[in-house]
Amino acid sequence: MTIFSDFALHKTIVQAIHDMGFEEPSPIQAACIPKILEGVDMIGQAQTGTGKTAAFGIPLLEKMTPANRIQAIVLTPTRELAIQVAGELRRIAKYKKIKTLPIYGGQSITHQIRALKQGVQVVIGTPGRVLDHLRRKTLRLDNVSMLVLDEADEMLDMGFIEDIETIINHLNEERQTLLFSATMPVEIKRLATRYMKNPETVAVSREEVTAPLIEQVYYKVFERNKVESLCRILDSEDVDLGIIFCRTKRGVDELSEVLQARGYLADGLHGDLSQAQRDKVMKAFREGTIEFLIATDVAARGIDVGNVSHVINFDIPQDPESYVHRIGRTGRAGRKGIAMTLVTPREMRQMMIIQKQTKAAVITRNVPTLEEVAERKQEQLREQLVELLESNAVAEMYEKVVEGLAQEYSLEKIAAAALHLAFHSEPGEGGEQEAYDFGETGAAKGMVRFFLNVGRNANLKPQDLVREISETVGIPGKAVGRIDIFENFTFVEVPDEVAPFVYEALRQTRINGKRINMEPAKPRGKR
Ligand code: AMP
């Protein structure tokens, strides 16, 4: 396995890459970075999503010096890409005194001229605007030692070839030229032959890889509401255990935080965690106390958990092999599994390539609408209610309340009001630590008694419950009070002062793989 520090890179660059959360070079990076550092002209056949920007960005920035002159120019087909590439380069150059500037049509040219005058080392521009500056002599390219043509086939499609040739004619012959393109039409090949010196070609994995036979779908999503889309998808699925893949360690941390804040049982796994932390997360995942494991490719390597029902590519994989690796985490041992990939418009091409090379039938689905999610939630609520009704585990006290109310209101209205009370939450609420008052729970003095909706039916034994409580709350096992396990439910008493913790910690957990629900108990009849 190659790591970034294997390359001849200055530590400032390696540190910046680390900060960006990249764990290891993507295939195109592993192939390109050493060659570009050597000074070779290169053609990279790669599309968005493969890490191509950093593949040229890292060696490019390694070679830049703080001298006040433009040393590299990157040409891109669109302003969006120019801005995006400039952003990525800026992050790589975080600890190096190198200035990057995007110049594109649509932005005030005087503003750009002013920025250029302040001195920059790397310019990222669209061909039209770059040419404009050259004509006005507001851009000097005679010191450029590196030219990058990014998404060359797109530039060809947009009719920029002539502009590109004009720009190249302003450059030194003594330069390194890099060309990145998803496809290689003859015009691009011709450009390469004419303007590049013995270029070497790198293509990311052209071999076929076989995807396992599991259901595969992808969702078209927009970058700006990717998290919301993910949540809707999760809410409308019956997930046993799910692995959610992110590209970077940072991505893993951010997504874990957001999902936890939204109440999902989720935790992250990546290479910056200590072995002990990783073991803890994996244990929780195996036991089902967390439902979603959020991981990078590297961290997920070697994970062997049997009942993963969902693999979700929150970020699209960088190559077909990685896709196959990821989705192979589900559908183990003849079980059913589904692989879902979130695809932004810019990543569609990458999705198509994955599909083609894996020969997989990946069908597309729409992100569920709010109404669909609500419908699904209703269904789940109904299932929970039926289960409760069948198990006869409803506390007597509730029945008394209903009987009383039934004198005045219809049973439909009472039930609906009860559900509203139980499940309705104001959006944006929560987060604040509430003060708990569990009221009279029929417990011994100084204790709070809780009702759990599982019992012998979940193979629950007193020692399981004691261990669970003492471990999650950090109290000695003997501090746990009286435990009564019945067929379908359980009562447990815990000390007053830890009751809120126990409540928060256990309310949404699973014991022996069964999801538990926990409530303060009601006193046994009124004496
Ligand atoms: P690109 O193919 O250049 O458009 O990159 C797609 C995304 O992958 C960008 O968000 C990059 O920041 C990210 N990326 C690039 N290289 C790596 C890497 N080695 N590890 C993780 N993420 C990466």
Domain coverage including residue 110: 4-203
150 CA distance to ligand 1 middle (Å): 15
Nearest 5°: phi and psi at 469?
-70, -45
Same domain, 275 and 348: yes
87's tokens = 């952003």
Ligand 1 pocket test target in 22, 56, 60 with most atoms within 8 Å of CB: 22
E-only strand ranges, 274-361: 292-295, 310-313, 338-343
Verify whether ligand 1 is closer than 6 Å to residue 45 (CB atom): no
Contact predicate 387/242, CB 8 Å: no
Verify whether ligand 1 is closer than 6 Å to residue 25 (CB atom): yes
Q: What is the pLDDT of residue 429?
A: 34
Domain boundary among 370, 400, 432: 370
Question: How many angstroms separate the CA atoms of 466 and 340, rounded?
Answer: 38
Domain boundary among 351, 370, 389: 370
Residue 158, C-beta contacts closer than 8 angstroms, at least 6 positions apart? 77
480 CA distance to ligand 1 middle (Å): 49
Indicate the SS3 state at residue 300: helix
130 CA distance to ligand 1 middle (Å): 26
Q: What is the DSSP-derived secondary structure letter of residue 497?
A: G
3's tokens = 């790591």
- What is this structure's pTM? 0.62
Verify whether ligand 1 is closer than 6 Å to residue 247 (CB atom): yes
Same domain, 196 and 342: no
Verify whether ligand 1 is closer than 6 Å to residue 50 (CB atom): yes
For atom 21 of ligand 1, the residue with the nearest CA is 22
- pLDDT by residue (tens digit) across 237-280? 888 899 999 999 999 999 999 999 988 999 999 888 888 888 89
Question: How many angstroms separate the CA atoms of 257 and 268, rounded?
Answer: 9
36's tokens = 């570009």
Q: Which atom of ligand 1 is nearest to the CA of 84?
A: 4
Same domain, 20 and 161: yes
For atom 8 of ligand 1, the residue with the nearest CA is 51
Same domain, 255 and 377: no
Q: What is the DSSP-derived secondary structure letter of residue 245?
A: E
Verify whether ligand 1 is closer than 6 Å to residue 26 (CB atom): yes
318 CA distance to ligand 1 middle (Å): 8
Q: What is the DSSP-derived secondary structure letter of residue 368?
A: P
Verify whether ligand 1 is closer than 6 Å to residue 90 (CB atom): no
Same domain, 62 and 168: yes
Q: Which atom of ligand 1 is nearest to the CA of 49?
A: 2
Judge whether 104 lies within some domain.
yes
286's tokens = 């195996």
Q: What is the pLDDT of residue 334?
A: 64
Verify whether ligand 1 is closer than 6 Å to residue 54 (CB atom): yes
Same domain, 89 and 192: yes
345's tokens = 């418009």
Verify whether ligand 1 is closer than 6 Å to residue 58 (CB atom): no
Same domain, 279 and 384: no
Same domain, 391 and 463: no
Neighbours of 224 (CB within 10 A): 9
| Angle between helical axes of 11-20 and 52-63 (0-180°, round to 10) | 150
E-only strand ranges, 246-337: 266-269, 292-295, 310-313
Same domain, 226 and 320: yes
Judge whether 440 lies within some domain.
no
197 CA distance to ligand 1 middle (Å): 28
Q: What is the pLDDT of residue 294?
A: 97
How does DSSP assign 402-431, residue by residue?
HHHHHTTS-HHHHHHHHHHHHH---TT---
Compute the C-alpha angle 90/96/99, nearest 5°: 50
Q: What is the pLDDT of residue 431?
A: 32
Same domain, 29 and 169: yes
**Count of the separate structural domains present in the chain:** 4
43 CA distance to ligand 1 middle (Å): 18
358 CA distance to ligand 1 middle (Å): 21
501 CA distance to ligand 1 middle (Å): 40
244 CA distance to ligand 1 middle (Å): 17
220's tokens = 């078209």
Query: Cα Rg for the chain, rounded, in angstroms?
Result: 29
Digits of tens for pLDDT over the chain (527 positions)? Answer: 789 999 999 999 999 999 999 988 988 999 999 999 999 999 999 877 789 999 999 999 999 999 999 999 999 998 888 999 999 999 999 999 999 999 998 889 999 999 999 999 999 999 999 999 999 999 999 999 999 999 998 898 788 999 999 999 999 999 999 999 988 889 999 999 999 999 999 987 555 556 566 899 999 888 878 999 999 999 988 888 999 999 999 999 999 999 999 889 999 998 888 888 888 999 999 998 999 999 998 888 767 787 899 999 999 998 888 898 899 888 766 677 899 999 887 787 788 888 888 888 888 888 888 888 888 888 888 888 888 888 877 778 888 889 999 999 999 999 888 888 776 654 433 333 345 688 899 999 989 999 998 899 888 899 988 988 876 666 778 889 999 999 999 999 998 877 876 787 676 566 776 667 888 998 876 43
258 CA distance to ligand 1 middle (Å): 21
Q: Which atom of ligand 1 is nearest to the CA of 88?
A: 12
Burial of 502 (0-12, 13-18, 19+ CB in 10 A): buried
334: alpha, beta or left? (left if phi > 0; alpha if psi -120 to 50):
left
Q: What is the pLDDT of residue 435?
A: 54
Burial of 130 (0-12, 13-18, 19+ CB in 10 A): buried
Q: What is the pLDDT of residue 472?
A: 64
Q: What is the pLDDT of residue 433?
A: 34
CATH code of the domain containing 115? 3.40.50.300
Verify whether ligand 1 is closer than 6 Å to residue 4 (CB atom): no
Same domain, 156 and 256: no
Question: How many angstroms separate the CA atoms of 101 and 81, rounded?
Answer: 13
Indicate the SS3 state at residue 263: coil
Q: What is the pLDDT of residue 508?
A: 55
Which residue type does 444 have? A
Q: What is the pLDDT of residue 79?
A: 87
40 CB-side CA count, 13 A: 15
57's tokens = 């960005």
39's tokens = 């000074």
For atom 5 of ligand 1, the residue with the nearest CA is 51
Ligand 1 pocket test target in 247, 252, 296, 349 with most atoms within 8 Å of CB: 247
